[in-house]
């Protein structure tokens, strides 16, 4: 049976999204056939305005409605403390507990030679420019605990040390066991990171 072209078009559009396979794309499309037209219009409008009504902050490169973003323009935040993350979503995760009072820098990815992503494809140069102004006392490297994230953190640390020498404090977020986890279920890398990141009790 031939699928009507408008349905096929939407299925193919959904399949281009990360994590959505053919079956999920079909389910979403046929679900949307049954919602009221007003909901479809709202969805279409939200998607259309996603990029039109957002900008990259000229300081930290986070996605926001304003430039500079809400965090960079907040006078209560410690501008001398920069937390480096891979994606804007990482900021949302770190902001949930409300404990961190510094500012951020978003790289928009990680160094990944297999995917042809080198340092020049990321927003590393703007970070180095920020740290070179003499107002930053610490850079926290909060890239993901993956091979790509570790490679990115090492590259940035080396680049900052070349510019600032030992005048800049560079730290890496601790990796290890989540609260409530059992040791027996943890993998070797997680246990190793947990041991490395231990602190005085």
CB-side neighbour CA atoms (13 Å) of 130: 25
Helices (H), the chain: 5-15, 22-32, 37-52, 88-95, 125-131, 147-164, 188-196
CB-side neighbour CA atoms (13 Å) of 56: 12
Confidence of residue 201 (pLDDT cuts 50, 70, 90): low
Cβ-Cβ contacts under 8 Å for 22 (sequence gap 6 or more): 11, 15
Six-digit token string for 70? 């809400």
Where in the chain are the domains? 5-52, 74-195
pLDDT tens per residue, range 138-178 = 999 999 988 999 999 999 999 999 987 778 899 998 877 67
pLDDT tens per residue, range 8-65 = 999 999 999 999 999 999 999 999 999 999 999 999 999 999 999 999 999 999 999 9
The residue to which tokens 């009504």 are assigned: 53
- The third-level CATH classification (topology) of the domain covering 74-195 is Dna Topoisomerase Vi A Subunit; Chain: A, domain 2 (3.40.1360)
Of 2.30.30.40, 3.40.630.190, 3.40.50.300, 1.10.8.420, which CATH number belongs to 5-52?
Answer: 1.10.8.420
Q: Kindly report the average pLDDT of the chain as a whole number.
A: 90
Instruction: Please tell me the pTM assigned to this model.
Output: 0.83
What integer pLDDT is reported at residue 57 of this predicted model?
A: 96
């Amino acid at each position: 049976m031939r699928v009507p072209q408008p349905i096929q078009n939407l299925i193919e559009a959904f399949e281009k999204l990360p994590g959505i396979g053919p079956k999920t794309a079909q389910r979403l499309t046929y679900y949307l056939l049954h919602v009221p037209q007003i909901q479809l219009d709202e969805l279409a409008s939200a998607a259309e305005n996603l990029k039109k009504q957002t900008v990259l902050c000229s300081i930290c490169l986070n996605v926001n409605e304003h430039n500079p973003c809400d965090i960079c323009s907040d006078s209560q935040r410690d501008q001398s403390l920069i937390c480096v993350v891979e994606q804007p979503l990482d900021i949302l995760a770190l902001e949930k507990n409300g404990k961190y009072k510094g500012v951020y820098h978003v790289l928009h990815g990680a160094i990944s030679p297999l995917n042809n992503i080198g340092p020049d494809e990321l927003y590393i140069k703007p970070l180095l420019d920020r740290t070179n102004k003499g107002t930053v006392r610490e850079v926290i490297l909060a890239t993901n605990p993956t091979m790509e994230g570790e490679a990115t953190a090492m590259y940035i640390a080396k680049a900052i040390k070349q510019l600032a020498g030992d005048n800049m404090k560079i730290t890496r977020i601790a990796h290890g066991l989540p609260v409530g986890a059992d040791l027996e279920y943890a993998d070797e890398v997680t246990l190793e990171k947990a041991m490395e990141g231990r602190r005085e009790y």
